[in-house]
Amino acid sequence: MSTLTIEQVHSDYQGQAILKGLDLVLHQGEIAALLGPSGCGKTTLLKAIAGLQPISQGRISINGRLLSGPDVFVPSEQREVGMIFQDYALFPHLTVAENILFGVKGLSKSDRQSRLSEMLALVKLEGLGGRYPHELSGGQQQRVSIARALAYEPELLLLDEPFSNIDAKVRGEMMVEIREILKQRGVSAVFVTHSKDEAFVFADKLALFKEGAIAQYGDAEALYALPADKYVAEFLGQVNYLSCEVSARNRLNTLLGEVQSSSDLDKAKGYRGELLLRPEQLQIAEDERGEGTIIARRFLGNLCHYSILIGEEVLAVRSPLHHFTEGQNVALSVTPHPAVLF
């Protein structure tokens, strides 16, 4: 069952188009990241889902219930959507317990206490219910924000850059913990970020925005491995482009010699274009007569990043091999993978 369905959504502000015909389907228990640079429309879409931003065309539905559409607008407080903000948005005069239970209605006193205990345990804040927000760390305040959003059991959780104010040392660990909480409870979520690294860690699906439209939407790994265009490829990681010509249904002629694709190409024999190569898709080997020359080396801990000149091209290579040095001749080969051509 799809939790969230967005169909041809447009939104305008002061005569300017902000969202331009967006389509997106999020299924039960999935986490989707709205990813892109500042001003591309991702926060506007989040607000439209929450009922904080009107749409000019299209439809937004949750579990088959139309929330925004032609002659329909359900107010934010009636959408059964939870929201988590980057600044936590906790009430400073309320205790942790009072913040968590703020939106919970219709429960008996004993049931409220049971819900509170469950939420405190869920976010690992047992024993801190009597404290006030200013007495907590940033990470603990965000945990309270998450517990408050989940306490009234929303149909969908919306997160607006929730990790941007958290110390870098604990950010990665917290993202994994919160993801596990959402998965454990089967909660669907939409998450706004400008960081591809956060999106890869936290989300199942990525919607990559470009100027108010979704450039590509799908599984995170699929977008990284099979980007629809150069914009998607370059936003999600470093790239090399190598001139090529298709010589057979799964073979290419390149500066590095013949390259074999692990899947059939969607271009006909004789097609000339550019082969997309991620730095980790290139292998480096010692070869005194190799056509590549290392012109730069950067140590990255478990990997080394090399810049290698071959012909007039400079290729980026990431390798677990650390022993190569600047000025050294090397041979390059391509790791078998489904080739992407532009």
Per-residue CA distances from 155 to 28, 79, 83, 120, 263 (Å): 9, 8, 11, 20, 40
Burial of 220 (0-12, 13-18, 19+ CB in 10 A): buried
Lookup: tokens for 52: 């904080």
At residue 138, the pLDDT reads 84
What pLDDT shows up at residue 156? Answer: 94
Q: What confidence score (pLDDT) does residue 323 get? A: 94
CATH number assigned to the domain covering 2-235: 3.40.50.300
* Per-domain residue ranges of the chain: 2-235, 240-341
Tokens coding 73: 């607008």
Q: Rounded CA gap, 38 and 55, in Å?
A: 20
DSSP 203-270: -SEEEEEETTEEEEEEEHHHHHHS-SSHHHHHHTS--EEEEEEEEETTEEEETTEEEEBSS--SS-TT
Domain pair 2-235 / 240-341, same fold: no
What pLDDT, in 10s, does the model give residues 50-72?
999 999 999 999 999 999 999 99
Q: What is the pLDDT of residue 1?
A: 63
Q: Is 119 exposed, middle or buried (0-12, 13-18, 19+ CB in 10 A)?
A: buried
Q: How far apart are CA 239 and CA 30, in angstroms?
A: 29
CATH number for domain 240-341, candidates 1.10.510.10, 3.40.50.300, 2.40.50.140, 3.30.70.890: 2.40.50.140
pTM (two decimals): 0.87
State both tokens at 315. Answer: 């290729």
Give me the residues of the chain with pLDDT under 50, please.
Answer: none
Query: How many CA atoms are closer than 13 Å to the CA of 59, on its beta-carbon side?
Result: 11
